[in-house]
Structure 1
Amino acid sequence: MRFFRLLGPLDVVLDGRHVRVPAGKRRVVLAALLVKAREVVGVDELVELVGGTRNALQTTVGRLREDLGVPELVLTRAGGYLIDVAPDEVDVHLFGRVGAEEALGLWRGRPFADIGSDRLERDHGPALTETYLAVLEARVEEDLRGGRHEQVVGELRTLTRQHPARERMWAQLVRALHHAGRQAEALQAYEDVRRKLAEELGVDPGRELQLAHQEVLRADNRPRARNDLPGDIADFAGRQADLDEVLAAVPAGTVAITAIDGMAGIGKTTLAVRAAHRLKERFPDAQLFVDLHSYTEGVEPRTPADALFALLTALGVPAKDVPDELDARRRCTGPRWRTAGRWWCWTTRAVRRRCGRCCRAAGW
């Protein structure tokens, strides 16, 4: 087995063993021959690459043959030299002929990284790097189509730092953050690249990046449907009249506060939960349940502030963003949340006054 790697540090494998080629002119000549595998590279071209004279080049080629240990690998031809290696045995040739996964596996870093030839890097590096980035973007696109949004965010952040002018990568980062539920970060990523393009290049974001931004802006970012209701019971019976009365007290399209009055232990919670399950289709944004602990032995009843905290965090407000003061918490339930759905509160006689304070505190 033999293989020659130039995509990253030089690596030569002959007969299954790694062969070291010393840094300097011998590496430059080897790389130049491998770039044109099984093609003659002229003496003048090689002299221009390594410097010196034709005689010095001949000496360099002789030492390279000794390094490789296979003299017939580098052949002398009229006007130049040829390396007798198939293109598929050299990574820079194989790179563009294989699938994405194999191609990315061949890439080990900057092409010709330790060859020591600015010209070889300049002449061949940009095209190879562009191919690599295009393959990488295609692979990320497959990840996004497969729903692996959260998994590629870290990689895309690294790639956009390494290639800040690569707009498609920025667009992919914006989309990945958005579909991972991180809308604020998606908008910030767009703003970062928009400012960078304007300040450094004097241009606006391209179409793909703008479309990714518009996708975030158009999205419905309301809290996703949440159901905190206790489980319904299968053998509910004998309370149909009471259930009908509760359901009738919650007309469609309006906000209603319904209280169920009665002594402890007569089934008020069971009735309320049954009614809630019957009504949940009319409240698609969220169905929340807060235990006020009025009859829980050894537990202090919830205060209005505590109840609001439970509701706000259930609706997606980060706990660190919930204000300490009751009035400030009430303001958190303003238009954004009141338009997200309708609310139904139920209570027992023993906590009716407390529930009323909770509802008034929330502004419902």
Structure 2
Amino acid sequence: MPQSAPEGGLQFRVLGPIELWNSRRVDLGGLKQRTLMAALLLGAGHVQSVDRLIETLWDGPPPASAPNLVRFYVHQLRKRLGPEGAALLRTAPPGYLLPTEGHQLDLLLFEQLAAEARQAAAQGDHRLAVSRFRAGLALWRGQLLSGTESALLERLYAPRIEESRLTAVEDLVDSELAMGDLAGVVGELSTLVAHHPFRERMHHQLMLALYRSGRRVEALEVFRRLREQLAEEMGIDPGPNLRQLMQEILTDQVPTAPPVPAATVTLTSAPAPAEPPAPAGPVADPGLPRGPQPESLPQPAAGDDAVPPPEPPTPVRSPFGAAAPAMRAPAAIASLVGRDRERRLITDWFRLPREANPSSSPVAVISGLPGVGKSALLAACAQDLHHLYPDGQLYADLAETPIADALADFLVALGVSRRELPRGASQRAGFFRGVTHDRRVLVLLDNVPSEQQARPLLPASPGSAVLLTAAQRLAALENALPVSLEVLDPAGGVAMLEQLLGAERVAQERRAALEIVQFCEGLPLAIRIVAARLALRPDLLLAQLAHRLRDPGRRLDELRFGDLDLRARLRHGYQGLERPAQHLFRLLGSTTHAELTLDRLTRLVGGDPTTGTDALVRAHYLTVGNRDGAYRRLGLVDSFAAELYGGDRLRRLAPRALGERPRAQTLARPATG
């Protein structure tokens, strides 16, 4: 077995969400950085050219700035690798090289454990073979390459690595059959053949296990179903090995299992690893073995997380090595700061006893302005909570996925064949509630437009839970905890800059950092964009960028970088409003008043404004003062409303109604209330 990495050494994980450990988990950053790290790890030992990395990071035509963006992402990864990041992630023309010598890559460890298991099986020591296979398969923490996005990586690596996993599963079954472990094997094989209906070796193993368990008729039924399925979908018959086994079962001439030797074969490698605590991945994978795991993989130290995870439930043995059917987790987002209170509030809510409402799953709704960090908090809480839900996590982004498709994905992830899926969304919703009634899953929903679109995705079991994000406060959801995210205070905003740029650079220009946070109004997305621009230009002073942000007329132009665009996020949120709210939102761009009383809004609208104001408060575009009842909004929202108003026919009417100059003449100093 490969030797353990030294204390505090780097540990790389690709068999599931891409992770880096250096005594504790290291945040790799956003989607592009995780995908880049995956490409470098899977090509470990080989130079990855800049052109190949561009092809990996952008499935379609890349932006003109792609080479610079690759350098930026490499720069960010080097910082996250620690003081020796530049030495480890080397520049090697025509690209970059990430060697893993002296460190540990879980993929290589898996391959080594599988090789040792096969050596033991060949020498007749099936007990040791089972131990080694299970240790290797336990390294799989979920779907390969989850948390990345690259068609090229999927095409080049996923089929080969997935095939090696399935072959290890089949080899493990052979050793378990040789040991006579029939009771456990039959149930697990039944699940495996459901997920892999055309793997004839698995069907062969299931037929053999059923026959040796005295279930001859069921063994023949497995063959009959496979033959009909192959004929219908492929136009072929089962292979010769399966046909021979069928004849042997019919004539009771199936060979008996060989005896298992009492002694074990000693291999020239490290001793069998001990049982560690549950892995610290984003999801406790319900479809992976819970047997021995290599002790060299690090576990989180006490105090690593702001919210300590709850004690894991007693593991339940499930289909060994099967890809986790309920392993759907959102990608972790870097730079989450200042949300400890909300994380603890959500964790405590889901840990409350539910005897009072046994037919309903608890729900937590994270709402807030576009760019306030809702998805980042969702991803962090998914990691905090995964121990509570041993049957896994289900994730869908409803901004991209229709309800019916999300339900189909959930059901398939839970083991339902696509051929068995009902057609309509309502039928699938009922089926989903039935499938989850006795399971403990965490449903994670991003960008939920309304209560109506959330309800079909809610399980009925009190043992499950739902955590969702929404632009609007979904107050009508039953059994739901509302969690409204506010912008960061100045200290939190500076802390976020320090996390993204390094404390030393921020300390050198502390005053400029505070100005940047002020101009970004504590909005995390705006701060992320500024930090990304500064990280790409180490020569650019914080004061220089603060000066560019000082002009409110161009502030939204400055707050975009790559695919991060605050104006686009605000526009998307605006388009999700109903017409009365959109109408009022545009009218708000006509006034420079920081505080808007109900009387002023009535004159602005020319009637009762409460329908629009209620909708804008629900969507966080307006806040209500506790004492005076006046409405306020962020200056960035104000600037976007002014842009909309500038192109609206109402711009000639609303200023006269208020007795003030048109907004276009007074943009020099927008309201920041």
Instruction: Classify the TM-score, shorter chain.
Output: 0.5 to 0.7
Give CA-to-partner distance per residue, 1:161-184, whole Å, 9 cap, x none. 111110000010011001001112
| 1:5 aligned partner | 13
Distance change (3 Å), C-alpha of 1:130 and 1:5: same
Largest Rg, 1 or 2: 1
Distance change (3 Å), C-alpha of 1:213 and 1:87: farther
Matched, 1:38 2:38: no
Q: Is the 8 A contact 1:37 1:87 kept in 2?
A: no
Q: Is the 8 A contact 1:23 1:116 kept in 2?
A: no
Shift in Å at residue 56 of structure 1?
Answer: 1.5
Instruction: Determine the C-alpha separation between the residues in 2 that align with 1:95 and 1:189.
Output: 31
For residue 67 of structure 1, the aligned residue among 71, 80, 85 is 80
Instruction: Determine the C-alpha separation between the residues in 2 that align with 1:146 and 1:138.
Output: 13
Distance change (3 Å), C-alpha of 1:116 and 1:87: farther
Distance change (3 Å), C-alpha of 1:165 and 1:54: same
Residues matched between the structures, number? 220
Instruction: Determine the C-alpha separation between the residues in 1 that align with 2:41 and 2:69.
Output: 20
CA RMSD of aligned residues (A): 1.9
Matched, 1:160 2:167: no
Distance change (3 Å), C-alpha of 1:204 and 1:87: farther
Q: Which stretches in structure 1 are left out of the alignment for 5+ residues?
A: 222-364
Detail structure 1 runs of 4+ shifted over 6 Å in the superposition: none
| 1:80 aligned partner | 95
Which stretch of the first structure deviates more once superposed, 28-37 or 91-100?
A: 91-100
Q: Is the 8 A contact 1:6 1:92 kept in 2?
A: yes
Matched, 1:198 2:231: yes
Distance change (3 Å), C-alpha of 1:88 and 1:188: farther
Q: 1:240-251 alignment to 2 at 5 Å? A: none
Shift in Å at residue 67 of structure 1?
Answer: 2.7
Normalised by the length of structure 2, the TM-score is: 0.32
Q: 1:85-100 alignment to 2 at 5 Å? A: 85-86=100-101, 89-98=104-113, 99-100=116-117
Shift in Å at residue 88 of structure 1?
Answer: 6.4
Instruction: Determine the C-alpha separation between the residues in 2 that align with 1:132 and 1:34.
Output: 18
Shift in Å at residue 220 of structure 1?
Answer: 8.0
| 1:27 aligned partner | 34
Distance change (3 Å), C-alpha of 1:65 and 1:207: same
Q: Is the 8 A contact 2:28 2:34 kept in 1?
A: yes
Instruction: Determine the C-alpha separation between the residues in 1 that align with 2:253 and 2:199.
Output: 28
Matched, 1:135 2:168: yes
Distance change (3 Å), C-alpha of 1:23 and 1:185: farther
Instruction: Determine the C-alpha separation between the residues in 2 that align with 1:88 and 1:13.
Output: 10
Instruction: Determine the C-alpha separation between the residues in 2 that align with 1:34 and 1:87.
Output: 14
Shift in Å at residue 66 of structure 1?
Answer: 2.1
Shift in Å at residue 150 of structure 1?
Answer: 2.2
Which stretch of the first structure deviates more once superposed, 106-115 or 17-26?
A: 106-115
Q: Is the 8 A contact 2:56 2:151 kept in 1?
A: no
Question: What code does the residue aligned with 2:171 have?
Answer: A
What secondary structure is seen at the aligned counterpart in 2 of 1:3?
strand
Question: What code does the residue aligned with 1:109 have?
Answer: G
Distance change (3 Å), C-alpha of 1:197 and 1:87: farther
Q: Is the 8 A contact 1:87 1:93 kept in 2?
A: no
Question: What code does the residue aligned with 2:105 have?
Answer: V
What secondary structure is seen at the aligned counterpart in 2 of 1:81?
strand
What secondary structure is seen at the aligned counterpart in 2 of 1:76?
strand
Instruction: Determine the C-alpha separation between the residues in 2 that align with 1:220 and 1:136.
Output: 26
Q: Is the 8 A contact 1:37 1:86 kept in 2?
A: no
Instruction: Determine the C-alpha separation between the residues in 1 that align with 2:206 and 2:253.
Output: 19
Q: Is the 8 A contact 1:88 1:94 kept in 2?
A: no
Shift in Å at residue 155 of structure 1?
Answer: 0.6
| 1:150 aligned partner | 183
| 2:456 aligned partner | none
Shift in Å at residue 87 of structure 1?
Answer: 8.3
Q: Is the 8 A contact 1:5 1:92 kept in 2?
A: yes
Give CA-to-partner distance per residue, 1:274-293, whole Å, 9 cap, x none. xxxxxxxxxxxxxxxxxxxx
Normalised by the length of structure 1, the TM-score is: 0.57
Question: What code does the residue aligned with 1:8 have?
Answer: G
Q: Percent identity?
A: 39
